[in-house]
Amino acid sequence: MPNIRPLHIVLVGCGKMGSSMMQGWLKNNLIESATILDPHGISEELKSSDKLVHAQTAADIDMSVIDLIALAVKPQIMKVVCNDLSPHVPETTPILSIVAGQSIASITKYFKENQPVIRSMPNTPAAIGKGITAAISNHSVSHETEKAVTALLTSSGELVRLDDESQMDAVTALSGSGPAYIFHLIEVMTQSGIKLGLSEEQAIQLARQTVIGAAHLAEAQSETPASNLRENVTSPGGTTAAALEKLMDGRLQDIYDEALSAAKARSIELS
């Protein structure tokens, strides 16, 4: 994580994702002070911090001392939020967006033409420091701002820099929505276990911990391809091989191809 001076920021939106990311920023001493701009106030998880203050409107904030504005709101209210912000935000103030489906162009239209904007897509494991975020910046973002944003985003997990903004829809489909696919896998494995004679409690525990353990193993051996990890579990002619003969007949790949394509198409529609 790059060494940066602690920042003065405005966090717009203090819901689950905004609150989770702020917790990571505070934990890693990346914040000198932060103003929470949210009609619901500061979340319960953050109320104990003496570095945070609450503001009802952008007019209540001294923007001249702000290093960065982080947007963490629902896409449906972006217009209202940005129209409140824009008259008060200097042209040089960087904006970090974690708003789904909002392009850099759609953000800059509310502010100034040369506003520094970083568009990012985290996922929910960021709440426990195990997330992955994809990001891309426009040409107005300085080297110093890039360092600061890298520190902010890597405080909640890993960071992938994109080559082109058009890749963000694929990121949304793969990693942004991806945790839900894994949680559904736990549901599916649980139901299969019950059908094979396990109790619901046993099946839930076995399915959940199997996914957790496999994920930790993949993390611990991050240089090892997933195919090798799979092969390490698979004995020729054994039980795993019998299962994989069904799982690897092409149907599962087709299902995931269709699912991620649907998610990407919806991301394009939303943007």
The overall average pLDDT reported for the chain is 94
SS3 per-residue string spanning the chain: CCCCCCEEEEEECCCHHHHHHHHHHHHCCCEEEEEEECCCCCCHHHCCCCCEEEECCHHHCCHHHCCEEEECCCHHHHHHHHHHHHHHCCCCCCEEECCCCCCHHHHHCCCCCCCCEEEEECCHHHHHCCEEEEEEECCCCCHHHHHHHHHHHHCCEEEEECCCHHHHHHHHHHHHCHHHHHHHHHHHHHHHHHHCCCCHHHHHHHHHHHHHHHHHHHHHCCCCCHHHHHHHHCCCCCHHHHHHHHHCCCHHHHHHHHHHHHHHHHHHHHC
* Beta carbons within 8 Å of 200's beta carbon, 6+ residues apart: 190, 194
pLDDT at position 172 is 93
pLDDT at position 15 is 87
Domains 7-175 and 176-270 alike in fold = no
117-121: strand order across its sheet: 52-55, 31-37, 7-12, 68-71, 95-97, 117-121, 131-137, 157-161
pLDDT tens digits, 147-165: 999 999 999 999 999 999 9
pLDDT exceeds 80 at position 201:
yes
CB 156 within 8 A of CB 131: yes
User: Looking at residues 169-196, what average pLDDT do you find?
Assistant: 97
Pick the CATH number of 7-175 from 3.30.420.40, 3.40.50.720, 3.90.1150.10, 2.60.120.10: 3.40.50.720
pLDDT at position 80 is 92
pLDDT exceeds 80 at position 1:
no
Share of the chain above pLDDT 70, in %: 99
Residues 180 and 162: their CA atoms lie apart, in Å, by 23
pLDDT at position 127 is 85
pLDDT tens digits, 65-108: 999 999 999 888 999 999 999 999 999 999 999 998 899 999 99
pLDDT tens digits, 22-71: 999 999 999 999 999 998 889 888 889 999 999 989 999 999 999 999 99
pLDDT at position 101 is 85
User: Looking at residues 162-179, what average pLDDT do you find?
Assistant: 95
pLDDT at position 43 is 85
How do beta strands 68-71 and 117-121 pair? unpaired
Residues 213 and 13: their CA atoms lie apart, in Å, by 34
CATH placement of domain 176-270 = 1.10.3730.10
Residues 242 and 220: their CA atoms lie apart, in Å, by 27
How do beta strands 131-137 and 117-121 pair? antiparallel
pLDDT exceeds 70 at position 195:
yes
Domain regions of the chain by residue span: 7-175, 176-270
Share of the chain above pLDDT 90, in %: 83
pLDDT at position 44 is 85
pLDDT at position 72 is 94
User: Looking at residues 192-202, what average pLDDT do you find?
Assistant: 98
Tell me the whole-structure pTM to 2 decimals.
0.89
pLDDT at position 2 is 65
pLDDT tens digits, 130-144: 999 999 999 999 999
